[in-house]
A = this chain, B = another copy of it.
Amino acid sequence: MNDADVLRRLSQLGIELPPPPQALAAYVPVRVVGGLAFVAGQVPMIDGEVMHPGHLGDDISIEQGAEAARRAAVQALSALRGSLGSFDPIEALAQVSVFVAATADFTRHPAVANGASELLVEVLGDEGTHARAAVGVASLPLGASVEVAVTAALR
């Protein structure tokens, strides 16, 4: 990818990259090894608080869930750039896992996960397309409604 191009698209979308997440004790925000960059699961944060905590199918709407997923994807991009110093070393995204805190009768996980997937493609273009798994989990760290994990391939 071209770092300047990606930064321009972020700017055009009005998205400011948050500071990259810090290393958290026993694990790291991004692990680069074997030609891949594994980004730790991102819980969407805004001003030091979880964005839209709760459960889909209960107290969180599809729109809120998608917004949370989009925010988590932005954080994953920030983590990648913070670790690599630039988007240049990234060949393409590989896989995105979207964990949605949801009730047993919730069925629209893809609509929530699209918040992350669409952001990644808007910002990264064709190289941002990815295989995806979206599942509904019982609960997430800090009460988040969404957690997004990204794997990218490096040149």
- Complex copy number for this chain: 3
Tell me the residues in window 104-155 of chain A with beta carbons closer than 8 Å to chain B beta carbons: 104-110, 114, 117-118, 120-121, 129-143, 147, 149, 151, 153-154
CB-defined contacts of A141 to chain B, threshold 8 Å: 107-110, 134-135
User: A73 to chain B: closest CB distance in Å?
Assistant: 10
A143 (CB) vs chain B CBs: closest residue: B107
Asked whether A39 is an interface residue with its Cβ less than 8 Å from the other chain, the reply is: yes
A107 x B142 contact (CB < 8 A) = yes
* 14 A-B contacts (beta carbon < 8 Å): A24-B110, A27-B129, A28-B130, A31-B129, A34-B36, A34-B91, A34-B94, A35-B35, A38-B151, A95-B151, A101-B138, A105-B139, A107-B142, A136-B139
Give me the interface of A with B, judged by CB distance under 8 Å: 24-31, 33-36, 38-41, 55, 57, 91-97, 99, 101-110, 114, 117-118, 120-121, 129-143, 147, 149, 151, 153-154
